[in-house]
Amino acid sequence: MTKVTIYHNPRCSKSRETLQLLRDRGIEPVVVEYLQTPPSAAELERILGVLGLEPRELARKKEPAYADAGLDDAALDRGEIIARMVANPTVIERPIVVCGDRAAVGRPPENVLAILP
């Protein structure tokens, strides 16, 4: 079976619901609590590629940390945005589920069903 990874925040209800949805389907994913163990810049770049999203599309723009990190600066290039997201993981949308070469953001949790084996 293909490894399934969830970038999870246990304090987020959508993240908890997505994790439970996986478990209800008999999938015990690798759980990465990304606030404690943020993805590296290379890992976030890979996730963005699999999702088909630009960095700002995966950012939580309403989080105070978004402006605090200067992510609202339109002059930032892709690498700078990713570096700031890694340094401030609270701005990364959650949960993200990766299954092989597919990924989905679990908002709503049912979004992840399309990528599961």
12 catalytic, yes or no? yes
> Of 7, 8, 9, 12, which one is the catalytic site residue?
12
C-alpha pair distances (Å), 15 with each of 34, 65, 81: 11, 19, 23
Tell me how far apart the alpha carbons of residues 68 and 70 are, in angstroms, rounded to a whole number.
Answer: 5
Half-sphere exposure of 32 toward its Cβ, with a 13 Å CA cutoff? 18
3-state secondary structure of 31: strand
Which of the residues are catalytic? Answer: 12
